[in-house]
Structure 1
Amino acid sequence: MSSLSIPRQALYYVKKVSEGRSIANVQVISTCEKQGQNYAVAFDPLGAKVKVHNSLEQLPSIRNADVLVFNNALSQIVTNADLLTDFLKNATNAASVGGIVVIREDLKNVADKRQVARLTDYFDVFRTNDADGNNTGLDLYTVDEVHNSTYVEQNFLDFIFVFRKKVFAPSTDATVTFRDFLDKTQYTSTGIDAYEWMFGVNFISPGGYAENLKIIKRFGDLKPGQTMLDIGVGIGGGARQVADEFGVHVHGIDLSSNMLAIALERLHEEKDSRVKYSITDALVYQFEDDSFDYVFSRDCIQHIPDTDKLFSRIYKALKPGGKVLITMYGKGYGEQSEQFKEYVAQRAYFLKNLKEIHQIAEKVGFTNIVTENMTPRFKEILIEERTHLEQNEAEFLSKFQQRERDSLISGWTNKLGYIEKDNHNWNFFMAQKPFPK
């Protein structure tokens, strides 16, 4: 069966990302002719000329596409690095600067169920020089699940990748984008697995399942069918917990493709359509206004540089009366040690203290603001987790290397030292979007 809802989902993103830009030239490559024609039907409201091709062989002849769509066209090349490089060079050259590239690819039959992370990284960091010598590439908007596949087929590994062609400044950095930085430093596959061992199955946050549930309950009376945005959802344990415990429908987002690849693989196994995930930036993704009953974030927003912009976007996305609850790494009020400054810089953290968080929330318009310094509890958790590793070292070393063990022990010990100097805080924030007067 060929669903029109899939090309219409693609059209939804095109409208979001185009920002009113005129669209005259739409090129679609689909190995299934019927699905290709469905894109032509769905994109008709744009008033653009839509041309449908049935093979990637036609891609090199395309130029100046305002929208370039690939519908399950990469199945033969997704695991071949050389062919993917050729594809990306041709796709980037085929799109106009500012043009939108949409790649729909069903990965459920790929042997590596975390292939979405490999592809996201490949697409996100690729750069090529155009005819004018510009350093061009594909700027990531989102990687979302195909809704039709999720709800009709219980297939959570069918994806829509959405990019915009952009001219980038020349760079020799080892990590090309911030997503790339996260996945190559703190959230490597091995690093994530080691963190999960420390925090507990399905969690990459202090205290694991039990602590997360205790924090979630501070929202109050969560009801089945209500909606939640989870910013920095990680490997997805918290989102699936909220769905399972309370029946809430959760949209979890994270910029780390390595993290979300794990979340998506597990969601595909569990088949819970109350949960969906997006690989995206909370400061970029255009959420619908007044669409969530709750916004939740566990120990993520220290990665986000513009807290004012983030809080403004959360405010807009919440329904009137909706609540936001965030725990975050923050800075204390003691004189910062050089070691702590180096730690913050190495992690690319943007830390605020509780006073600053309260002021930003007030400025944005939130009411019923509650802030709390949870650092004493953080200290307890750190000691519990470090002790757990020390007492179960043999089990840990059966799964990981000595360097991972040493890194975790020193990391947890250093955090305890930062806490003693009131450099490192663990902060709680909750507030409400007021009803219109």
Structure 2
Amino acid sequence: MWAEPARVRERTDGRCQSVYLPLLSTAGQLILISRAKMSLSVPRQAVYYVKQLSAGRTLQTVQVVSPCEKQGAGFATAFEVLPVKTQVHNSLEQLPQIRNADVLIFNNALSHILNNADLLTDFLTRATAATSVGGIVIIREDLKNATDKRQVARLTDYFDVFRTTDSNGNNAGLDLYTVDQVQNSAFVEQNFLDFIFVFTKKAFAPTTDATITFRDFLDKTQYTNTGIDAYEWMFGVNFISPGGYDENLKIIKRFGELKPGQTMLDIGVGIGGGARQVADEFGVHVHGIDLSSNMLAIALERLHEEKDARVKYSITDALVYQFENDSFDYVFSRDCIQHIPDTGKLFSRIYKALKPGGKVLITMYGKGYGEQSDQFKEYVAQRAYFLKNLKEIGELAEQAGFVNVQLENMTPRFKEILIEERTHLEQNEQEFLSKFTQYERDSLISGWTNKLGYIEKDNHNWNLFLAQKPFAK
């Protein structure tokens, strides 16, 4: 006889559904039974972040809010590796009961409030109140069914800039560590829009600045959605760096032979064209990071469409994210690190992340040796650039321990590219104006023209740095 399978509510992505498993009856008939299908890799990914962020700190309580009870139980199981007490709740309604949590985790608990600003604000207020200062807040949310496939940018901004006065009078908020993809979803389900947002609760100094964080500054100034689209029109599909696809490929080949299965960290990956290019051209596995959520939202949307599991992205700061030592064959960066104030610290972190014998290749905007004009100084300040000349880059590279250091001033090529791109815009102005406004057109023309002027005065350089981490002796 056939057994009627019982229904259970579980899915590997943390939501709930019925799961049926085949089984032969004693009569040899195929029957179906149900069992909770649950992957512990998702909660263990959360444990990984907690270990990274809690080094040197004693944890006592982990609070988990998970509407799906089986998945909540999975978090409790995963956290058994730590000497902590884990408590699981099945509803956001229980959040007001939580206080002084060392770790507070939300597992697919926000779907019904994601598009309601008032409810999101109320949630963030309560989540901040429930967490101790220095505590870790992890929000896992699957956004693959969201109407807006770039919703991760809006949520990152919302979480990142939220501030409230806590019970101790602190100007409290969530300090961004990373927004990563859920690896189980990417590899098992080809779902690249399932995310883990990771923060620590922090007491911030009061501020009246229009942009609260540097990530917020990037997304509201240089990398607005319209600005990104206009840059992509100038540089070419999937790229927002000089010369587009062809120039990037030429630069990548400066590494030498890249082999399938090798690993690369791409710092300042932008809208992801370079990372997907390296994966497609050479079979290299790429971890692309960027602090602009607007840019990475585009990269993630396109990755979800293309389904290339060799590429993963994180919204994070290269000076904050804790990369594993000796983990990458290559580190690459296109025209990004001028945004990073401490180049020496960056080079030290890259050195540690590279495997022995691994290579780093960076192109960057730099300063020349001519007397800087007031206009150039104003341009640098507006963009929040921290420019170095080629000599300074070489000194910092050697201080970090790199060998076989190669430095090249590529400014002549930069000049050629600027002229080519400006001419392209002038000759295709009507096409551009069918997509963008006269203001964007004039801004790009004046920007490219100004850069050419800075080059003539040897204010603005385009530099390349290639080096190697020595092999262990």
- The two structures share one fold, judged by TM-score above 0.5: yes
Q: How far did residue 131 of structure 1 move? A: 1.1
Distance in 1 separating the partners of 2:334 and 2:194: 27
Q: Which amino acid in structure 2 is aligned with residue 44 of structure 1? A: E
For 1:299 and 1:239, locate their aligned partners in 2 and report how far apart those are by CA, in whole Å: 14
Q: Distance in 2 between matches of 1:422 and 1:271?
A: 44
**Which amino acid in 1 is paired with 2:418?**
L
Give, in angstroms, the shift of residue 47 of structure 1: 1.4
Deviations 1:119-173 (A, max 9, x none): 0000000000011211000000000000000000000000000000000000110
Equivalent residue for 2:313, pick from 277, 280, 298: 277
Supply the AA of the counterpart residue of 2:42: I
Deviation at 1:334, TM superposition (A): 0.1
Which residue in 2 is equivalent to 1:214?
A: 250
| In 2, Cα distance between equivalents of 1:261 and 1:151 | 19
Deviations 1:330-379 (A, max 9, x none): 00000000000000000000000000000000011000000000000000
Q: Secondary structure at the match of 2:462?
A: strand
Shift of 1:276: 0.2
Structure 2 counterpart of 1:37 = 73
Equivalent position of 1:342 in the other structure: 378
Q: Which amino acid letter does the alignment assign opposite residue 78 of structure 2?
A: A
Distance 2:175 2:349 in 1: 20
Under a length normalisation based on structure 2, what TM-score does the superposition of the two structures give?
0.92
Q: Give the count of matched residue pairs.
A: 437
**For the residues of structure 2 that align with 1:358 and 1:208, how far apart are their CA atoms?**
26
Are residues 1:144 and 2:180 paired? yes
Q: Which residue is equivalent to 1:430? A: 466
Shift of 1:212: 0.1
Paired residue for 1:126?
Answer: 162
Question: What residue in structure 2 maps to residue 58 of structure 1?
Answer: 94
Matches of 1:27 and 1:320, distance apart in 2:
40
Other structure's SS at 1:43 match: helix
Q: Which runs of 4+ in 1 moved over 6 A?
A: none
SS of 1:170's equivalent in the other structure is coil
1:76-225 → structure 2 map (5 Å cutoff): 76-225=112-261
What are the superposed Cα offsets for residues 151-199 of structure 1, whole Å, 9 maximum, x if unpaired?
Answer: 0000000000000000000011000000000000000000000000000
Identity, in percent, stands at: 84
SS, match of residue 238 in structure 1: helix
Q: Using the alignment, how far apart are the partners of 1:2 and 1:156 within structure 2? A: 19
From 22, 35, 46, the counterpart of 1:10: 46
Letter of the structure 2 residue corresponding to residue 192 of structure 1? I
Deviation at 1:436, TM superposition (A): 1.4
Aligned equivalents of 1:183, 1:48: Cα separation in 2: 38
Partner of 1:252: 288
CA distance in 2, matches of 1:116, 1:60: 26
Tell me, in whole angstroms, the C-alpha distance in 1 between the residues paired with 2:191 and 2:168: 42
The structural deviation recorded for 1:19 is 1.9
Give ranges in structure 1 of 5+ residues lacking alignment.
none
Aligned mate of 1:393, from 413, 429, 432: 429
| 1:20 shift after superposition | 2.2
Which secondary structure does the structure 2 equivalent of 1:371 belong to? Answer: strand
Secondary structure of 2:294 counterpart: helix
User: Partner amino acid for 2:294?
Assistant: N
Write the letter of the residue equivalent to 1:370: Q
d(CA) in 2 for partners of 1:51, 1:179: 33
Secondary structure at the aligned position of 2:370 is classed as coil
1:201 deviates by 0.1
Hey, what's the Cα distance between the residues in 2 that align with 1:92 and 1:37?
Answer: 24
Aligned partner (choices 344, 355, 358) of residue 319 of structure 1:
355
Letter paired with 1:352? K
Matches for 1:284-323 after TM superposition, within 5 Å = 284-323=320-359
- Partner of 2:56, secondary structure, is coil
Classify the secondary structure of the residue corresponding to 1:155: coil
CA distance in 1, matches of 2:128, 2:215: 20
Match of 1:416 among 444, 449, 452: 452
Distance 1:45 1:407 in 2: 55
SS in 2 for 1:213: helix
The two structures, once aligned, show a CA RMSD in angstroms of: 0.4
Q: Cα deviation per residue 1:284-326 (whole Å; 9 max; x = unaligned)?
A: 0000000000000000000000000000000000000000000
**Which residue number in structure 2 is paired with residue 362 of structure 1?**
398
Query: What letter is aligned with 1:163?
Result: F
Q: Given the alignment of the two structures, is residue 235 of structure 1 paired with residue 277 of structure 2, yes or no?
A: no
